[in-house]
Amino acid sequence: MKSGLASVCLLYGLLVAQPAWSGLDIDQYLPPQETDLSPEEQRQQREAVQRQIEEARQREAQRAQKAEQARQAEAERLAARPYPVRLTEKRCLTCHSINNLEENPQTRLGWELTVLRMDWFQGAQLERGDRKVLAQYLATTYPARGLRSYLEYLLLGLALFLPVFAGYQLRQRHQKMKN
Ligand code: HEC
């Protein structure tokens, strides 16, 4: 019993306490790797691995450089587009996709009113002069032609005429009741 405890203590001392106390790490306990390569061959092997690492590092640097160049070229291309295109993107395409504009071709008047509606009621944040630029650009890029433009004027005409007509009718009725 006594010798059992002693050997446990000895083992603990050898395996844990002593290495820790001497400040060595586990790698230094490993036996040197057995190899049948000559020192010259070992050196060549090490150099080959280092070359591979260096090549991989260069490839990665080139890839990063290319990606950065592509990013810059794209940023330049975007910045070089005409002013109205950029303005539309900034003021309108935050809420809409470009399809939304394509699918709603309108006359100049229609676009003026749409841009005004977006400005007043939908919170498109326009600055002075934006509306004119936007309406002009949109009307030339997504114009309503032929029947569609007549329909637009017809609807606008009705939208203006109906309240006037209703007001007139009400007034007539009012006067009839007075008489
Ligand atoms: C803050 C979000 C917002 C911005 C910015 C905005 N819109 Fe709108 N837009 C809306 C909403 C919401 C509607 C639907 C209600 C309506 O028609 O008033 C709408 C409707 C429209 C419609 C009618 C077609 C449809 O799908 O209903 C057109 C066309 C349109 N917008 C164009 C524009 C243009 C051009 C601009 C830039 C000047 C713009 N919008 C900016 C929110 C926005």
Q: How far is ligand 1, taken at its centre, from the CA of residue 102, in Å?
A: 12
Q: Would the CB of 162 count as within 6 Å of ligand 1?
A: no
5/169 Cα distance (integer angstroms) = 114
pLDDT at 71: 97
Any domain includes 168 = no
Tell me: do 88 and 154 sit in the same domain. Answer: yes
Q: pLDDT category, 63, cuts 50, 70, 90?
A: very high
Report which residue type is found at 138: L
Tell me: do 113 and 141 sit in the same domain. Answer: yes
pLDDT at 65: 97
Which residue among 89, 99, 122 is best mutated to probe the pocket of ligand 1, counting the most ligand atoms within 8 A of its Cβ?
Answer: 122
Look-up: residue for tokens 């433009």? 149
Tell me: do 126 and 106 sit in the same domain. Answer: yes
Q: Would the CB of 114 count as within 6 Å of ligand 1?
A: yes
Tell me: do 98 and 156 sit in the same domain. Answer: yes
- Given the CA of residue 131, which atom of ligand 1 is nearest to it? 38
Tell me: do 129 and 159 sit in the same domain. Answer: yes
Residue 61 belongs to what domain range?
47-80
Domains of the chain: total = 2
Whether residue 23 has pLDDT greater than 80: no
Whether residue 6 has pLDDT greater than 90: no
Any domain includes 8 = no
Q: What is the CATH number of the domain that holds 148?
A: 1.10.760.10
pLDDT at 116: 95
Give me the helix-helix angle, 130-141 and 83-91, nearest 10°: 100
Tell me: do 159 and 91 sit in the same domain. Answer: yes
Q: Which residue has the higher pLDDT, 76 or 5?
A: 76
Q: pLDDT category, 68, cuts 50, 70, 90?
A: very high
